[in-house]
């Protein structure tokens, strides 16, 4: 019995560090996503993003059934970089369960023109986002996301 218990403890001591290492790798992969959102014009960030996000990645932001591809997001973020040159998407909290990484993020920026039809006339915004990333084989394969864009528009249109 002592031998079985010792083997079980030894096995647990081997598995725990491996699981922690896998979680650290998956969280580092997800961090690359936010580095790109904050600076999409950086060739280094764009290349790292393409390496971290699966070619057939799905961005799911509502229940319409429509998804956004990796290339569509890259194009959208290029437009955001021109409209909101100081856009910063900070990771406030990252929680992992299995191969899913949940991120509470904070996006800030000052649009230099109308954002979704609202001209903030130089005002800044600060919004929260919640994202659930699924990581498989070292790549993000799916992201469910919610951003408080209505809050940004309220801030930009406030007197």
Residue 13: pLDDT over 70: no
pLDDT digits (tens, 9 = 90+) for 109-132: 999 999 999 999 999 999 999 999
Residue 19: pLDDT over 50: no
pLDDT more than 70, % of the chain = 86
Higher pLDDT, 87 or 7: 87
Q: Report d(CA 93, CA 100) in Å as an integer.
A: 14
Q: Report d(CA 141, CA 25) in Å as an integer.
A: 15
Is-contact 99 127, C-beta < 8 A? no
pLDDT digits (tens, 9 = 90+) for 46-104: 999 999 999 999 999 999 999 999 999 999 999 999 999 999 999 999 999 999 999 99
Give all domains of the chain, ordered by start, each with its CATH number: 2-157 (3.10.450.50)
> Which pTM value belongs to this model?
0.84
DSSP states along 54-89 = EEEEEEE-SSSS--B-HHHHHHHHHHHHHH-TT-EE
**pLDDT for the residue 2:** 66
**pLDDT for the residue 18:** 44
């Amino acid at each position: 019995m002592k031998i079985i218990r010792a083997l079980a403890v030894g096995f647990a001591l081997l598995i725990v560090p491996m699981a922690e290492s896998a979680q650290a790798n998956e969280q580092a992969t997800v961090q690359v996503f936010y580095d790109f959102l904050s600076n999409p014009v950086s060739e280094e960030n764009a290349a790292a993003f393409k390496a971290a996000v699966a070619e057939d990645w799905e961005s799911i932001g509502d229940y319409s059934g429509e998804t956004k591809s990796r290339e569509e997001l890259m194009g959208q973020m290029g437009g955001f970089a021109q409209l909101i040159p100081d856009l910063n998407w900070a990771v406030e909290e990252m929680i992992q369960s299995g191969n899913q990484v949940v991120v509470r993020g904070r996006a800030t920026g000052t649009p230099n023109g109308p954002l979704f039809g609202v001209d903030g006339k130089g005002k800044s915004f600060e919004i929260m986002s919640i994202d659930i990333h699924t990581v498989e084989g070292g790549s993000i394969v799916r992201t469910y996301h919610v951003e408080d864009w209505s809050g940004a528009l309220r801030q930009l249109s406030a007197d």
